[in-house]
């Protein structure tokens, strides 16, 4: 158990990739604080899954674009597991809708930035003072941040590209404290995200275009998170790790 007795906060940790990450970290011995926004039922299911593997966790509701909710999440983590955090995984974010430049207005664009980038900044700022030597932050970017995204995803892709730059900047800033900051850039992963926003025919074409001829799975992304959270990746920081089955090489 590479993360035994570590304390981990996972924003957006209740479903899909977030759930897989939460369960994987718990399986590796971490005490997990599972944040969710509107997915209360899924959060309770995630807690049950963690308990089923002998893990320990709490669930905390909150919108990571609101300072009061960020502060409450950290306070509840501290109340449950002590005044420190070892691992932060910024999963929370989303596409919201596919819109072209003509269809977008400034409110939509700014909302995407807030959802995917500002939320990562806010939670990182709140957690870093509680991190000691060897802390690990894992952000979530996207293949869209590498290649500009699919049709109608320009705002989403831009926000995820910014997450990559933020990751590099924080790796430099926090490295002297031995806090590592890395990010994952998932490609086509089989989740509700693509069930909602990507047509079946497009998914099939993308899967066929990958070197491995398939979509990825949330558990495979979670495995990468666990590696980046552990001391096994102790000399990795500022890395934006592609996990896309060979669809795109950066």
Q: What is the 3-state secondary structure (H, E, C) of 131-185?
A: CCCCCEEEEECCHHHHHCCCCCCHHHHHHHHHHHHHHHHHHHHHHHHCCEEEEEE
What pLDDT score was predicted for residue 143?
96
**pLDDT-based confidence at residue 199 (cuts at 50, 70, 90):** confident
What is the set of active-site residues? 156
Separation of alpha carbons 115 and 19, rounded Å: 19
**pLDDT-based confidence at residue 193 (cuts at 50, 70, 90):** confident
How high is the mean pLDDT of the chain? 96
How far is Cα of residue 62 from the mean position of the Cα atoms in its chain?
Answer: 15
Asked if 101 contacts 146 with a C-beta cutoff of 8 angstroms, the reply is no
Residue spans of the domains in the chain: they are 7-239
Q: pLDDT tens, 235-249?
A: 999 999 999 999 999
Q: Which residues, including other chains, have CB under 8 Å from residue 56's CB and lie 6 or more apart?
A: 26, 31, 32, 50
Q: What is the pTM of this model?
A: 0.96
Q: What is the assigned CATH class of domain 7-239? A: alpha beta
Asked if 95 contacts 156 with a C-beta cutoff of 8 angstroms, the reply is yes
Q: Averaged over 183-208, what is the pLDDT? A: 88
């Amino acid at each position: 158990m590479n993360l035994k007795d570590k304390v981990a906060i996972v924003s957006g940790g209740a479903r899909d990739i977030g759930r897989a990450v939460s369960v994987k970290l718990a399986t590796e011995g971490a005490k997990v604080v599972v944040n969710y926004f509107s997915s209360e039922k899924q959060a309770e299911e995630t807690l049950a899954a963690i308990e089923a593997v002998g893990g320990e966790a709490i669930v905390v509701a909150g919108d990571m674009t609101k300072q009061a909710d960020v502060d409450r999440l950290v306070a509840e983590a501290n109340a449950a597991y002590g005044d420190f955090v070892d691992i932060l995984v910024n999963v929370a974010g989303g596409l919201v809708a596919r819109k072209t430049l003509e269809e977008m207005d400034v409110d939509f664009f700014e909302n995407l930035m807030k959802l995917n980038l500002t939320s990562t900044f806010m939670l990182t700022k709140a957690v870093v003072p509680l991190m000691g030597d060897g802390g690990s932050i894992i952000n979530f970017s996207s293949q869209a941040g590498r290649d500009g995204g699919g049709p109608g995803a320009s705002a989403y892709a831009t926000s995820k590209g910014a997450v990559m730059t933020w990751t590099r900047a924080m790796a430099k800033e926090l490295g002297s404290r031995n806090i590592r900051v890395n990010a994952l850039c998932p490609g086509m992963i089989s989740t509700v995200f693509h069930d909602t926003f990507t047509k079946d025919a497009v998914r099939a074409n993308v899967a066929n275009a990958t070197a491995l001829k398939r979509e990825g799975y949330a558990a495979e992304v979670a495995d990468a998170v666990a590696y980046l959270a552990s001391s096994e990746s102790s000399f990795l920081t500022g890395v934006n790790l592609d996990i896309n089955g060979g669809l795109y090489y950066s």
